[in-house]
Structure 1
Amino acid sequence: MAGETDSGRAAPGAVLARIASTIGIATEGVAMSLGLALFGIILIALGLNSIGAIIVILAIPVALFFRDPERFPERTENVVISGADGKVTDISDVSFPGSTGKPCRRVSVFMSPLNVHVNRAPVAGEVTMVEHTAGEFRAAFRDDASERNERNLIAMTDAAGRMFGMMQVAGYLARRIVCRLRARDRIQAGQRIGLIMFGSRVDHFFPPEYRVTVSLGDRVRAGESIIGAIEQ
């Protein structure tokens, strides 16, 4: 059976995913938060009550960081949905990352450590490229973060063949980017596609025929907020 070992027991990854779904946090946070809690309980059992209690309490904010609430976009046709929770810090006309050089609009969303850090697909379509680039770990809100920081570019096309992009940018604290997509994957608008740990940023790239529907300083929610819409 899929998701189980030959012995009939659920594989570790499937077990973590099941626990994550039950308690409402991202899979990547299960081992970390439960591990801390278990370690603290062991210390308490050994008589180290104060230290154990502190570690158990620390497991709570770790779990909260990895929280993964359900999100459902009200509309998906001819719109771009935010792939991240946070604050809009940049809106500009740029060239699409990589070798294409096509003009596009960019909307950047900065995620503080207090935001939900699970990223979601901005449009429905097919993934054409996933490209990771090593780099620095500067403050993610800096203008040059998308060119100098550790980053992961996801390029995709919709049913009409229009090109979109989403760049996960690691920040000063973020040291790990998680992307669950590969080239040729089919995606739905608003589906979970990965996360970036701690303070970080997501850049959205979409065709110039789309108008930007947010302003600098706006707060947006991944999988819900519309950041671009095609002119009708």
Structure 2
Amino acid sequence: MTHADPRALVEALDDWARRTDWVDWVEIGGSIGRGAGDELSDVDAGIGVLGLADHPGRIDDARTAMDAFAPVAASLTQILGGDTTHLISVYEDGRQLSLVVLDAEARQGLPPQAVATVDKSGRLSRSLDQSRWDADEATVREWAFLAWIAIGDAARHRLRGRTWRALHALTDARDHLWRLWAHSHGLAFPMFGAVTVENAGADLPPGIEATHPGDLSTAAIHRALTALARLLEPYTAGDLAALADTVRARLDLLESSISTA
């Protein structure tokens, strides 16, 4: 595998888009969009197609164009809903292009941490405020609620000897904590959790390392869950306090199983 420059894929995509009359704009996000890309970066892009609903074959045309940029190792098409399709191509040289294809009118501005490399009609000429991607109170409560539920699930699964289900639930709870942390620090796209925090170079939750068990023993998973519960406390208010007490009782059962083993 060579270290081909992923930015060459951006140039190829832009050149094709400029020549293609039904492509109105190209948007580049991810690390390259933020200006932090390197030779290991994937290319996260979107294109706006004019009249996509009336011309669904444009998706296949976009796939054909992507496959011509470099020899392809494998590709995948994901239907995201509505008129939005996600095309992924992994090239033999290791580069990856993830292209979201949507109707041109779906974008009326440029999201944070993205750049418009082609904008024929000026739809991306204004910046969209990051607040439209902020979590509202209901979403924040949901993240905290689900984090506590996942902690309880992890304890239950470990008590039953279902170690990998316990680890999966613990990871799920930690992912929700990352989202809460990103939101509390006013970071863009808090729903992406740890990705958002690290991309922003923000402080990490204090003691987050302790939420990762050193092994799969009951004691190690109990310590990790207890550390995670402590980090969730600032986001636990109102009726969630009663939920937290209920989950802590299950953690106590898990602790008791260690002492009696």
Q: Same fold (TM over 0.5)?
A: no
* Higher RCO structure (Cα 8 Å, ≥6 apart): 1
Q: Tell which structure's C-alpha radius of gyration is larger.
A: 2
TM-score, with length taken from structure 2:
0.24
Q: Which has the higher helix share?
A: 2
Higher share in strand: 1
